[in-house]
Chains A and B, each alone.
Chain A
């Protein structure tokens, strides 16, 4: 279950709302995400958002709007929790979800995601190995000048630790709210999380193969069996085999 009600005032006044997922579903999600195949994704050099040492579950690169397995139950629960907010917005009510993993050195610079034209972004942390803020990977939310956040004064609104089960939603409507992730300093870290967006104004056609577009390098980083792949076609073949084996 998701603890408490969504804090609508916090979402609009502070740019985020936080809660916690508890119960058996949390552990089931962790078991599922650990079993994913991972692909390192390198952002294009000219993209304004810079992140490093980040991997996506290969299945997330296929059709992120079609959740499978235990993720479906999480999406249904999330939709119910967010209903008091989302019922006020027309447009697509599709949830796009990706499984991600950050390793030691992972960070994300200050940015907003209003260009995605969704109502909110969400993050569910699945990091049982996380100890305290010295391990890094803290989500920071800021209030900035919407015209030029690099030049204006920034006001820190919240520091949210990636504690196991923490659920955060971020306001993706107001350009004043920005967020970033501090560097993960924990050695041998595998910072699993489910991240996604809800309520895109006009979602893209997810049936288009997007793997070429994200310039993935095809490096699988499951700790037990790291495999390097050089070609996108190899990634596709591997993902298809994975899906076939799992009878999805």
Chain B
């Protein structure tokens, strides 16, 4: 039995693609997608009954050693797919960082931002939903590439990716070491929430 057949991803993530295009995306099999949604929904986002520390309303911090099933399996698969590249930096076991789980409810959005500051190599985002989203429901994760002239930004932003959550969870890994790559979440225009499981590989943030 090949290793490929045991993967929970639709295919292996490619480090070459991440660094050439700025990101790579795969989907998670239906069974794990469903488990991920139920697990995310079971985590209390009520600040009076915290299961994990809050970093902001609707966003909990999951310490790197407390990532539980099925999120630990998802992270392990990401590390495994990219292992040949990541070991060039540091031993794999030292590269994992704390994760966050966000309940993206009506009105939630993240502005365009380059994620280089924490010195991570790549960052992953897992989009988790119970159902597919329609066009007018927003909630898109977007990745863009910036242009510079010399040391100055030109203001141009080339959109590389714009993805909505679906019932089948999506794993998006982007190059977070390049100043040219920015990510954003467009405004959530629906009452049905989705969840965002995110983490850094190789960064310094706690």
Contacts and interface: CB of A to CB of B under 8 A. Distances in A.
Interface of A: 4-9, 12-13, 84-85, 88-91, 112, 114-115, 117, 145-148, 152, 173-176, 201-202
B16 interface: yes
Interface in B76-91: 84-85, 88-90
Nearest to B83: A147
Interface string B56-81: 00000000000000000000000000
B117 A176 contact: no
A89 B116 contact: yes
Interface string B11-36: 00001100110000000000000000
8 contacts: A88-B114, A114-B88, A115-B90, A146-B16, A146-B19, A173-B177, A174-B175, A175-B19
B158 to A, nearest CB: 12
Contact of B150 (A4, A115, A145): A4
B112 to A, nearest CB: 14
A91 B178 contact: no
A175 B15 contact: yes
A202 to B, nearest CB: 8
A176 to B, nearest CB: 5
Contact of A89 (B16, B117, B149, B151): B117
B180 A12 contact: yes
Given A145-B16, A175-B19, A117 B114 contact: no
Interface string B112-125: 00101111010000
B126 to A, nearest CB: 23
A8 B85 contact: no
Contacts of B16: 145-147, 152, 176
Contacts of B90: 115, 117
Nearest to A113: B88
B119 A91 contact: yes
B15 A90 contact: no
Contacts of A114: 88-89
Contact of A115 (B20, B89, B149, B152): B89
A145 to B, nearest CB: 5
B109 interface: no
B180 A84 contact: no
B180 A146 contact: no
A117 B152 CA distance: 25
A239 to B, nearest CB: 32
B166 interface: no
B147 interface: yes
Contacts of B134: none
B53 to A, nearest CB: 22
B180 A5 contact: no
Contact of B178 (A145, A146, A174, A201): A174
Nearest to B118: A90
Nearest to A202: B204
Given A9-B147, A147-B15, A175-B85, A90 B117 contact: yes
B95 to A, nearest CB: 11
Q: Which of A4, A85, A175, A201 has most chain B Cβ within 10 Å?
A: A175
A145 B121 CA distance: 16
Contact of A7 (B117, B119, B150): B150
A8 B117 contact: no
Contacts of A89: 116-117, 119
Contacts of A12: 178-180
Contacts of A117: 89-90, 119
